[in-house]
Amino acid sequence: MWKWLHPYAKADRAYQLCNTLLPYFAVITVVCMLVGWVWGLAYAPADYQQKDSYRIIFIHVPSAILSMGAYSSMAIAAVIALVWQLRNAELAVIAIAPVGACVTAIALITGAAWGKPMWGAWWVWDARLTSELILLFLYLGVLSLYHAFEDKKAAGRAASILAIVGVINLPIIHFSVEWWNTLHQGATITKFDTKAIDSSMFWPLMVNIVAFAGFVGTVTLMRLKNEILQREKHRPWVRQLLNRG
Amino acid sequence: MLRQHSYWQLFSAVCKKDVQLAFRQRAEIVNPILFFLIVITLFPLAIGPEPGLLARMAPGIIWVAALLSTMLGLDKLFRDDFNDGSLEQLIASSYPLPLTVLGKVVAHWLITGLPLVLMTPLFALLLNLDSQALVATVLTLLLGTPLLSFIGAIGAGLTVGLQKGGILMSLLVLPLYIPVLIFATSAIDTSTMSLDYSGQLAILGAMLVIAIISAPIAISSALKVSVS
């Protein structure tokens, strides 16, 4: 793995890799998002009970899944940054963090919008909601720690450490919150566990999940490119690139 | 690399120094307790003085107050050593940094956590807790407050190099405190129903053991980032 990874420790190679990957991610995102949204929002059958309002699932569930996914990829980048001392991995941590925070916020907001007509409340202290909210706090912690440091090198390392501490805590938080909730109020709404989803709704949902994954990847790559350029702005290859474009 | 002292001597020296410093400036020990007491006084004023209501809310009140008052001392944990340069010497020394850090965290608990545990009977009286719940509260605080010190020290280590680290540190640390809060309060809740709460205590103990093993490593790498 080291042999494969090693060339990308150099900033310009990493930048090139971002450039090669970016079109693929962008195409996947645009195609899947168009297909998924049109399919999900217009053609998938309406739910027998929730009617058309269930359609927010096609945004809510992908963003919730990606909020966890983005955090774990951020933590993986953080481990790589600390163990192999790759500065590009530190930049990746910072590139992912705001994207992940946004996706988490989308999941929370769409969840609230869905909860109002269905449960009759914007917010319920349900285990899933609570752990998602805490996830948002963890993202914001990483971000604010990074921006508090003047020295961006130390900032990247500190943010990486916090991301790793967070990922160790995340399952503990998740299960403790679940346990806390079930202890206090026995039957809560566990919609996805009790009812398997019909395939006419399942496939557009899958397409939307891929679309969101592509979206997170695209934005992260774009942010990573920017971070690399900013960090390396005094290097000749960046100057060349900027003069050319 | 010359090591003239054993690891135990190092640990106890670091620990003793911090405790001694705290005893020379009494405010460091007294202030968190006073803060705790004032926070607890605020709650009956805010939610009303009915004994039943207070007893119902007491576990939560005591634990939230405990979280906040341990936060108070955390900012000081590495700040003085950082400012006078001795933190740099500790990192540069040939002794393992996690051990030094362990000593400092244990000292922090002795200064801020242990007094809270000892004062709990008084707080329980104020909040109308019965003796069963009092025992549970003391036990959870005994297991939980060192955990708070360990988790909090990670945040303190990350922010010690910053000018305005205090608020940022509480932002980083408080979400990580949530599992402790949940298990501790549920243990006390369970005890008020005269049920067996050893499960919650076991989980708190397990988390404490994990924290003792892994937190010093995280804290020392955080300190290295802050000092470099």
B173-222 confidence digits (pLDDT tens): 888 888 888 888 888 888 888 888 888 899 899 999 999 999 999 999 99
Tell me whether residues A165 and B154 touch, CB distance under 8 A.
yes
A154/B228 Cβ within 8 A: yes
Whether A167 has its CB under 8 Å from any CB of chain B: the answer is: no
For chain A, the residue count is 245
* Partner residue opposite B178 with nearest CB, options A157, A173, A183: A173
Q: What's the pLDDT tens digit per position in B18-66?
A: 888 888 888 878 888 888 889 888 888 888 888 888 888 888 888 888 8
pLDDT of residue A196: 55
Alpha carbon distance, N-terminus to C-terminus of chain A: 34
- Give chain B's end-to-end CA distance (angstroms, integer): 22
Predicted model pTM: 0.84
Task: Determine the residue among A172, A182, A184 to mutate to test chain B binding: the one whose Cβ has the most chain B Cβ atoms within 10 Å.
Answer: A172
Per residue in A173-210, pLDDT tens?
777 777 776 544 443 344 444 445 667 777 888 888 89
Average pLDDT for B101-105? 92
Question: What's the confidence (pLDDT) of residue B121?
Answer: 86
Best of B150, B168, B225 to disrupt the A interface (most A CBs within 10 Å) is B225
Tell me whether residues A161 and B159 touch, CB distance under 8 A: no
Residues from chain B that touch A165, judged by Cβ atoms under 8 A, are 154, 176, 218
Cβ pair A154:B225 closer than 8 A: yes
Question: CB–CB of A169 and B218 under 8 A?
Answer: no
Q: What is the pLDDT averaged over residues A121-143? A: 84
Beta bridge partners of A51: A47
Higher pLDDT, A124 or B69: B69
Q: CA A52 to CA A39: how far, in whole Å?
A: 13
Over residues A124-142, mean pLDDT:
85
| CA angle (B57 as vertex; B54, B62 as ends), nearest 5 | 100
Q: Which helix (H) or strand (E) holds A9?
A: none
- Report chain B residues whose CB lies below 8 A from the CB of A149: 161-162
* Residues near B179 by beta carbon (within 8 Å), at least 6 away in sequence: A169, A172, A173, A176, B207
Rounded Cα distance, A93 and A103, in Å: 15
Cα–Cα distance measured from residue A128 to residue B15, given in angstroms and rounded to the nearest whole number: 41
Between A59 and A105, whose confidence is greater?
Answer: A105
Neighbours of B167 (CB within 10 A): 12
Nearest chain A Cα distance for residue B204, angstroms:
11
Q: What is the mean pLDDT of the segment spanning B152-177?
A: 86
d(CA B19, CA A145): 30
Classify residue A44 as left (phi > 0), alpha (psi -120 to 50) or beta.
beta
Residue among B56, B27, B211 nearest B115 (CA): B27
pLDDT for position A215? 92
Q: For residue B189, give Cα distances in angstroms to A179, B118, B179.
A: 14, 20, 15
Mark A149-178 as b/e (b = at least 16 C-beta within 10 Å).
Answer: beebebbbbbbbbbbbbbbebbebbbebbb
Amino acid letter, A168 = I
Considering only alpha carbons, which residue of chain B is nearest residue A155? Answer: B225
8 Å CB contact of A145 and B178: no
**How far is the alpha carbon of A244 from chain B, nearest alpha carbon, in Å?**
37
Chain A: nearest CA to B81, how far in angstroms?
Answer: 19
User: Residue A47 phi/psi, 5° resolution?
Assistant: -70, 145
Any alpha helices (H) in chain B, and if so which ranges?
7-24, 27-47, 51-83, 86-92, 97-108, 114-126, 131-159, 165-192, 198-227
Portion 135-194 of B in contact with A at CB < 8 A: 154, 158-159, 161-162, 164-165, 168, 171-172, 174-176, 178-179, 182-183, 186
Q: Are A174 and A131 in contact (CB under 8 A)?
A: yes
The H or E element that residue A128 is part of is helix A127-148
Under 8 Å between Cβ of B146 and B173 = no
Average pLDDT over every residue of A38-52: 76
The rounded mean pLDDT for chain B is 87
